[in-house]
Amino acid sequence: MKKVLYAASTCVTPLGFTTAATFEAVQAGQTGLRPHWFDFSDESFAAATIDETWLAEAFAPLGHSAADYSKLEKMSILAVTGAMSRVAFSLTGPDTLLVYCSAKGNISHLAVGGTPYLAQLARTVARACGFANEPLVISNACISSLQGLVVARRLLKAGRYQHAVVVGADEVTKFTLSGFHAFNALSRQPCLPFDAAREGINLGEAAAAMVLTVGPVEGLSAGAVEVVTGFSTNDAHHISAPSRTGEGLYQAVTKVLQQAGGGPVDFIGAHGTATRYNDEMEAQAFHRAGLHEVPLHSLKGYFGHTLGAAGLLEAALGIESMQRSELISSRGYTTCGTSLPVRPIRQRAPAELRRFLKTSSGFGGCNAAVLFAKAA
Amino acid sequence: MQPHITASCAIRGNQIFVNGTLVYQGTADTPDLAAFLVAAYRHFGLQYPKFFKMDALCKLAFLTAELLLPTTSLAARRGAGEVGVVLANRSSSLLTDLVHQQSIQEPAAHLPSPAVFVYTLPNIAIGEISIRHQLTGENTLFVADSFEPEALVAYAGELLAEGSCQACLCGWFEAGLTSHEAFFYVVEVPAPEVPARHPHHTSAIEALYTQPLYS
């Protein structure tokens, strides 16, 4: 069977515009979370946003007209262009699929009378980056880009394409922030995933792009990372509350582990939004799957919840973690805050990391799980 | 045995078709989408109070699935993660996005509602259908300019081929600024006693999709 291999990634985040720069900032203990004020409240909300000036400086050398693109489009183009530049093979032929994933796209345009369509956004990014094929667009709430990886892996495995570029992108908007606020799901302070004192999420923005390949490609070493398998499930329980038993996530994780033929998982990139219900649900699912002793982190303490971008951003940083043999700590965790304990990573540490499980869950009851492994 | 399309349901304008047959026609006093869908819900005697909480996009998807699934063997397969849901749409959740935007547009009149906000995602429709029919398998929401079956056929075909699901609810649902439409079909490996209806090919799906227009 064909192996689907990870070839490269680029993360565009408040902490850096490459995966390496973002990873190093995280390992240096930085966070993108800052107080932000919105016009409907006198109090601030912690959120992680990308500096517009910094973005403009990075975007200018690409040679596109800055005025033609929204902030989200610039972030996306920067991420995709970056990832494409990191592989030695061409990605602009008919053998490459672009999978564009976003929960809300250019939703901020609604406030100024625009009508944002996700397919239009994806096409704008695809054309700017020179793709031959029409992009495939996925909008599955907060699992969007991890589900993008699941879909891309299947289509590559089926032999439909040689390469795929999966990109996840979402931005901080008043639209989403006010909605989560109405849900009482926001924490004004930096979020505390899996901690006893956690109060809710922070929002963040990011674009992350990842190149996958099944082609016979030069330059991929024996330590290459394989996208072993991935599944999504639905809780079939509630449209906005996670299953109390973690059923859907448990099923997704179980399917992944079964298809991978068992074996240890060295660390988990959890969703860890820092709401009461989400983190409890994840703890339940990981216990049921027998993974509660596996070190895990949530990266929401560095980036906030980047919605549709979160899965791919966190997968890219998890792979960087594998390749550098260095665990990322779960920022914001000090005291166990779930009824069944899990093992958030307390500090950056060297470790041999061969197998990495990434999970995401979202509104609509959706869950996704993907296993990455270093090829033998 | 190859997977086949065993049933389809389409909602266009104020008409509803099951397997190409007109089963409901709205009246002139159901001018907007939500009113038409509520009238159809009552016509078919459906009993699911959560329907009334849903936004128009979810009502559209829910009703299409509700009329389609009982004509298939999906009920026998559900609950074991064996039914996938792969849907596509154009405008995402635009109509409800506009309602939420209206509630936050003026800082002095800031009054967002969680009951509205939860419907500002297109895959909530998959969640509603999954809750109703206890479908727990693979779920994906694609967004495209128009109904193009290629991606659905490719992806659902792969899910079935690798055994990740035994049946898949597929299709297109759209509630936009000026029009609405839904077209769902079930693809599965039929039981031997079930006559195979249509091959799981793009051309067969396109024929089914256009069929109700000419009924």
Over residues B105-162, the pLDDT tens digits come to: 999 999 999 999 999 999 999 999 999 999 999 999 999 999 999 999 999 999 999 9
pLDDT confidence of residue B195: 67
DSSP A272: -
Contact A248, A361 (CB under 8 A): yes
Locate A352 and state its tokens: 């041999």
B136 lies within 8 A of chain A by CB: yes
Which chain A residues are Cβ-neighbours of B91 within 8 angstroms?
Answer: 117
B175 lies within 8 A of chain A by CB: no
- HEC string of A34-75 equals EEEECCCCCCEEEEECCCHHHHHHHHHHHCCCHHHCCHHHHH
pLDDT confidence of residue A219: 56
pLDDT confidence of residue B42: 97
CB contact under 8 A, A236 and B131: yes
- pLDDT band per the 50, 70, 90 thresholds, residue A171: very high
**pLDDT digit string, tens, across residues A123-159:** 999 999 999 999 999 999 999 999 999 999 999 999 9
A349 lies within 8 A of chain B by CB: no
CB contact under 8 A, A155 and B128: no
Length of chain A: 376
Cα-Cα-Cα-Cα torsion A46, A51, B112, A305, nearest 10 degrees, comes to: -60
A119 lies within 8 A of chain B by CB: yes
pLDDT confidence of residue A81: 98
- Taking Cα atoms as reference points, which of A278, A266, A202 lies closest to residue A240? A278
CB contact under 8 A, A365 and B162: no
**pLDDT digit string, tens, across residues A301-326:** 999 999 999 999 999 999 999 999 99
The topology under which CATH files domain A5-213 is Peroxisomal Thiolase; Chain A, domain 1 (3.40.47)
- Taking Cα atoms as reference points, which of A364, A115, A70 lies closest to residue B95? A115
**pLDDT digit string, tens, across residues A74-91:** 999 999 999 999 999 999
B85 lies within 8 A of chain A by CB: yes
In chain A, the residue whose alpha carbon lies closest to the alpha carbon of B148 is A136
CATH assignment of B4-214, given 3.30.70.1050, 3.40.47.10, 3.40.50.300, 3.80.30.20? 3.40.47.10
- Which of B118, B135, B161 is facing A236, going by the closest CB pair? B135
Amino acid identity, position A267: F
Q: How many angstroms from the chain centroid is the CA of residue B87?
A: 7
B137 lies within 8 A of chain A by CB: yes
**From the CA of A27, how many Å to the nearest CA of chain B?**
34
Rounded Cα distance between B210 and B202, Å, is 12
pLDDT confidence of residue B76: 77
Using the predicted structure, report yes or no on whether residue A236 has a pLDDT greater than 50.
Answer: yes
User: What integer best gives the mean pLDDT of chain B?
Assistant: 92
Average pLDDT over residues A319-334: 98
**From the CA of A140, how many Å to the nearest CA of chain B?**
5
**From the CA of A61, how many Å to the nearest CA of chain B?**
31
CB contact under 8 A, A138 and B154: no
Average pLDDT over residues B183-212: 85
- Which of A104, A138, A233 is facing B81, going by the closest CB pair? A233
Which chain A residues are Cβ-neighbours of B143 within 8 angstroms?
Answer: 117-119, 122, 137-139
Percent of chain B that is helix, strand, coil (3-state, to 5)? 40, 25, 35
User: What integer best gives the mean pLDDT of chain A?
Assistant: 96
Contact B191, B73 (CB under 8 A): yes
Rounded Cα distance between B196 and A69, Å, is 49
CB contact under 8 A, A183 and B140: no
B110 lies within 8 A of chain A by CB: yes
Burial per residue of A114-133, b for 16 or more beta-carbon CB atoms within 10 angstroms, e otherwise: eebbbbebbbbbbebbebee
Locate A323 and state its tokens: 């390749």
Using the predicted structure, report yes or no on whether residue B41 has a pLDDT greater than 60.
Answer: yes
Using the predicted structure, report yes or no on whether residue A35 has a pLDDT greater than 50.
Answer: yes
Percent of chain B with pLDDT over 90: 80
Architecture category of domain A225-374 in CATH: 3-Layer(aba) Sandwich (3.40)
CB contact under 8 A, A178 and B142: no
Using the predicted structure, report yes or no on whether residue A358 has a pLDDT greater than 60.
Answer: yes
Using the predicted structure, report yes or no on whether residue B213 has a pLDDT greater than 60.
Answer: no
CB contact under 8 A, B81 and A255: yes
Domain boundaries, chain B: 4-214
CB contact under 8 A, A40 and B110: yes
Cα-Cα-Cα-Cα torsion B147, B149, B154, B158, nearest 10 degrees, comes to: 90
Which chain A residues are Cβ-neighbours of B120 within 8 angstroms?
Answer: 104, 175, 179
Locate A47 and state its tokens: 């959120």
**From the CA of B11, how many Å to the nearest CA of chain A?**
22
Which chain A residues are Cβ-neighbours of B137 within 8 angstroms?
Answer: 233-234
CB contact under 8 A, B154 and A160: yes
In chain B, the residue whose alpha carbon lies closest to the alpha carbon of A141 is B121
Average pLDDT over residues A225-230: 96
DSSP B146: S
- Count of CB atoms situated within 10 Å of the CB of A159: 10
- Which of A180, A237, A363 is facing B131, going by the closest CB pair? A237
**Number of CB pairs < 8 Å for A and B?**
153
Rounded Cα distance between A145 and A101, Å, is 5
Percent of chain A that is helix, strand, coil (3-state, to 5)? 35, 25, 40
Rounded Cα distance between B198 and B193, Å, is 15
Contact A243, A281 (CB under 8 A): yes
A233 lies within 8 A of chain B by CB: yes
DSSP A224: P
Please give the angle made by the CA atoms of A27, A145 and B90, to the nearest 5 degrees: 150
Using the predicted structure, report yes or no on whether residue B214 has a pLDDT greater than 50.
Answer: no
pLDDT confidence of residue B44: 98
Helices (H) and strands (E) in chain B, counts: 8, 8
Rounded Cα distance between A22 and A28, Å, is 10
- Which of A174, A178, A234 is facing B139, going by the closest CB pair? A234
CB contact under 8 A, A154 and B162: yes
pLDDT confidence of residue B79: 61
Percent of chain A with pLDDT over 70: 98
Q: Is B91 left (phi over 0), alpha (psi -120 to 50) or beta?
A: alpha
Rounded Cα distance between A250 and A236, Å, is 13
**pLDDT digit string, tens, across residues A40-75:** 999 999 999 999 999 999 999 999 999 999 999 999
B96 lies within 8 A of chain A by CB: no
A251 lies within 8 A of chain B by CB: yes
**From the CA of A91, how many Å to the nearest CA of chain B?**
20
Residues of chain A with CATH 3.40.47.10: 5-213, 225-374
Greater confidence (A222 vs A176) lies with A176
Reported ipTM: the value is: 0.97
pLDDT confidence of residue B190: 75
Least confident of A132-146, A247-261, B62-76: B62-76
